[in-house]
Amino acid sequence: MSRDFTATADPNLLFATWFGDAQTAEPNDPNAMALATVDGDGMPNLRMVLLKGFDAKGFVLFTNFESAKGRELLAHHKAALLFHWKSLRRQVRIRGSVTPVTPEEADEYFATRSRGSQIGAWASKQSRPLESRAALEAEAARYEAMYPDAIPRPPHWLGFRLRPDEIEFWQDGAYRLHDRVLFRRTSDGGWEKTRLNP
């Protein structure tokens, strides 16, 4: 895409283009994104997770919903995402509402994970205190023995879809004269575009 991405009217198309560029240019995890949530005291939490799908309906990630992020997403139904593609000097910020994906969607994605990752989803009581590394490895071995063949999806493991209300695109410019464009969802489901000062 030309440098003048600011002429684009569809943020979903623009994101797909930038994500494709990142898949070519980024040496590791072009789908890595920071996920921001808030706890019951109003304190923010931020961590890196992986984008596992996106379309016009939103951006999808999967996790243990008994983890800190899972509990916070279920409690508040809002979150923010940040993609930073350093090699491209670009970032995308997204804010919006969050809903769980369907069990069928979660089953479908879980089936594509490696066996080790499937076992890990059962073994890890994510975000909770852990006695030792040996205790975690013993849990993994226990589930490995329990499921010698196909491994079902744990009931506490599912996905979330963030439906964006805002998507902001940022591209580095000389002398800090960066390009920034903010898309806000309108009441009719369309998008309003605003160019921002860097």
pTM value is 0.92
- Domain 5-112+155-196 sits in which CATH superfamily? Electron Transport, Fmn-binding Protein; Chain A (2.30.110.10)
Could you say which DSSP state residue 88 is in?
G
Tell me, what amino acid is at 29?
Answer: D
pLDDT at 6: 78
Q: How far apart are the first and last CA of the chain?
A: 21
Could you say which DSSP state residue 175 is in?
G
In DSSP notation, 55-67 reads: ETTEEEEEEETTS
Neighbours of 99 (CB within 10 A): 15
pLDDT beneath 70, residues of the chain: 1-3
**Domain boundary assignment for the chain:** 5-112+155-196
User: What would the pLDDT profile of 55-86 be if each residue is shown by its tens digit?
Assistant: 999 999 999 999 999 999 999 999 999 999 99
User: What would the pLDDT profile of 101-122 be if each residue is shown by its tens digit?
Assistant: 999 999 999 999 999 999 999 9
Q: What CA–CA distances, in Å, run from 52 to 35, 63, 74? A: 13, 11, 19
pLDDT at 3: 60
* The one catalytic residue among 3, 133, 176, 195: 176
pLDDT at 2: 44
161 is catalytic: no
Ramachandran assignment for 189, one of left (phi > 0), alpha (psi -120 to 50 degrees), beta (any other):
left
CA dist 156 and 63 (Å) reads 9
Could you say which DSSP state residue 93 is in?
E
pLDDT at 1: 39
